[in-house]
Structure 1
Amino acid sequence: MDPSAASSLVDVQEELSLIEKYLTPRVFEVPMSRGRTVRAYEVGPPDVPVVVGIHGTPSTGLGQVVNYIASGAIFCRLVAFDRQGYGGSTPEPGRKVRDIAPVVEAILDDLSVDTAAVYGHSGGGMLALATAALLPTRISRAVCSAGNGPNYGSGGFDYADGPSPLMREEMLEARKGPQASREFYRRVPCKLRDPEVEKQLYSENDRRIARLLSPLRDKITQQLALPESPYSEEDAYVDDVQSWVKPWGFELASITVPTRIFHGLDDLQAARRHSEWLRTQIPNASLELFPHFGHNLSQLMPHMLAWLVQDEVRS
């Protein structure tokens, strides 16, 4: 083999090895007040802008790690975490939407990161907005992806009026109180892998992407050797939906950082009008609508992450 060709091959192998290293996540615990802990994940190169990803309901931070690795977006570093009561994070019964801010702040402090961008998907969308409002010196940009608007005040829409009968039922039950939400969880969210339930909540494109990512998720789960959660997903779900139907604890108008709202036009869970209304309530907010995309916006991960870190990349 030509010496120059052999040298080039070695260089390529070294680069691939480095990329593989960057796409290998690590898990760590962050101490919180009152003896609580948060399980967090980190993946990506060390010397690039940081993005915090907030998962939806019910879920864990692992899904965000899978989306990042699938996209190979090594121009930024992703930090995700299991929200209170999910996965390996201690429950916080009775929490409000605003209570996500101390969690994100503690994670940034633990990593010695001064500022980061943030995104939230689905039930995490409003939480990303909360961090942007309540941590203005720590958050540089924010994305709300497939999120919902608030359940109180005047918004020009009914929070329970969405594209899916199941989602309307979820909100109507939540308004009745925790026990009604608990009973709904047992009928629907805990059966998300049931094909009949799945078809009512996820578009054909959503289901196709989930199938494609399933082997990668299994591989990463095996690599991280995560223990089974000691906490009740049902309890965490009830805490989530009960926080949605109460005041969020911050004003959307107080968000000053650049904010973008992503919405798939084939979303069967979050109503388009919620995204359109949120855009009108947040200064510096813009809205992107995506034909043929549903509730799962993992295909947009590189585009979303690039927008979130563009200021840092330019500087």
Structure 2
Amino acid sequence: MQESSPIEKYLTPRVFDVQMPGGSTIRAYEVGPPDVPVVIGIHGTPSIGLGHIVNYVASGAIFCRLVTFDRQGYGGSTPQPGRKVRDIAPVVEAILDHLSVDIASVFGHSGGGMLALATAALLPKRISRAAFLGGNGPNFGPGGFDYADGPSPLMRDEIIEARKGPEGSREFYRRVAANWHDPEIEHQLYPENDLRIERLLAPLKDKIARQLALSASPYSEEDAYVDDTQAWVSPWGFELGSITVPTRLFWGLEDLFAARRHSDWLQTQIPNSSLELFPHVGHNFSQLMPHVLAWLVMNKDRP
């Protein structure tokens, strides 16, 4: 049998389980060379960690090693009912310990953006840089910040329903979030370029899922979604001003999910942070990931 080339090995993902205290399990993925800086990727809502792996394979960003995971209650990871935003930090720390990695950078996309910030705030000795991609701010914040002020009508409805409690989030999931790809809803949330990217990458995503032999999730995506949205409207469990690592917020000028006001406001709250805006980009950052990853692994002595 012919051996695969080093490049093929670098672009072949693997899946593994991480045991958490109390007996829960986190399903994680990694791809890339073993001797390059590690980046932790945190997925949005609702989703699993596979999407970031697909983006890496498609772009061939082999200057870093990407590690992602299914968040609690999604994919192959045990649910954690009632979890808060801060509860992502022990998960990331356990993954780093499992891999014997001392320090890594982190990014979070969409509903994972605030989780990347939590990781940077709560694991200052383990996280070197943080990137926030098309994410959202807290429910309320200093200076009159209000989560529901600015997003698209559907996203405003999502947070207003979440403020009513778990049943409000559950109703929204059944009506909207479970049907993201219904054409009537899809075009309210995604610009055409986002839809083109998704269609382009769909065969690769299916191929990688088959290679990894991923089984259907035994857990309820609806329950995980409710836990997510209830965490959004609760206190996050850390102060934005406590983040000390270089942090960059990325936002696409055609984003119909997350409002620019969220990123603008967060930049005023996070020390040592910057905001980068991209024309022709919506909520899908697939095409930009080599750029984001390159910033995340940049030498700390460079701007």
TM tier, smaller:
over 0.9
Map 1:104-143 → 2, pairs under 5 A: 104-143=92-131
Partner of 2:289: 301
Partner of 1:173: 161
Partner of 1:205: 193
Fraction of identical pairs, as percent = 78
Task: Specify every segment of 5 or more residues in structure 2 that has no aligned partner in the other structure, as ranges.
Answer: none
Within the candidate set 27, 39, 43, 1:51 is matched to: 39
Within the candidate set 58, 75, 84, 1:87 is matched to: 75
Partners of 2:140 and 2:146 within 8 A in 1: no
For residues 8-37 of structure 1, give each alpha carbon's deviation from its aligned partner in whole angstroms, at most 9, with x where no partner exists: xxxxx99x8211110000000000011100
TM-score normalised by length of structure 1: 0.93
For residues 220-248 of structure 1, give each alpha carbon's deviation from its aligned partner in whole angstroms, at most 9, with x where no partner exists: 01111101100000000000000000100
Q: In the alignment, is residue 274 of structure 1 matched against residue 262 of structure 2?
A: yes
Q: More deviation in 304-313 or 213-222?
A: 304-313
Q: CA RMSD in A?
A: 1.5
Alignment-mate amino acid for residue 76 of structure 2: G
Q: In the alignment, is residue 248 of structure 1 matched against residue 254 of structure 2?
A: no
Give, in whole Å, the separation in 2 of the partners of 1:157 and 1:93.
28
Q: In the alignment, is residue 24 of structure 1 matched against residue 24 of structure 2?
A: no
Alignment-mate amino acid for residue 244 of structure 1: W
Partners of 1:155 and 1:277 within 8 A in 2: no
For 1:196, what is the secondary structure of its paired residue?
helix
Partners of 1:49 and 1:312 within 8 A in 2: no
Give, in whole Å, the separation in 2 of the partners of 1:91 and 1:282.
30
Q: In the alignment, is residue 284 of structure 1 matched against residue 294 of structure 2?
A: no
Alignment-mate amino acid for residue 280 of structure 1: T
Within the candidate set 221, 225, 240, 2:209 is matched to: 221
TM-score normalised by length of structure 2: 0.97
For residues 168-194 of structure 1, give each alpha carbon's deviation from its aligned partner in whole angstroms, at most 9, with x where no partner exists: 100000000000100100011111121
More helix by share: 1
For 1:79, what is the secondary structure of its paired residue?
strand
Give, in whole Å, the separation in 1 of the partners of 2:15 and 2:220.
21
Q: Which has the larger radius of gyration?
A: 1
Q: In the alignment, is residue 260 of structure 1 matched against residue 254 of structure 2?
A: no
For 2:248, what is the secondary structure of its paired residue?
strand
Partners of 2:189 and 2:257 within 8 A in 1: yes
Alignment-mate amino acid for residue 48 of structure 1: V
Give, in whole Å, the separation in 2 of the partners of 1:162 and 1:62.
30
Alignment-mate amino acid for residue 283 of structure 1: P
Task: Specify every segment of 5 or more residues in structure 1 that has no aligned partner in the other structure, as ranges.
Answer: 1-12
CA displacement at 1:157 relative to structure 2:
3.4
For residues 107-151 of structure 1, give each alpha carbon's deviation from its aligned partner in whole angstroms, at most 9, with x where no partner exists: 000000000000000000000000000000000000000010111
CA displacement at 1:160 relative to structure 2:
1.1
Partner of 1:9: none
Partner of 1:182: 170
Give, in whole Å, the separation in 2 of the partners of 1:271 and 1:176.
22
**Count of aligned residue pairs for this structure pair:** 301
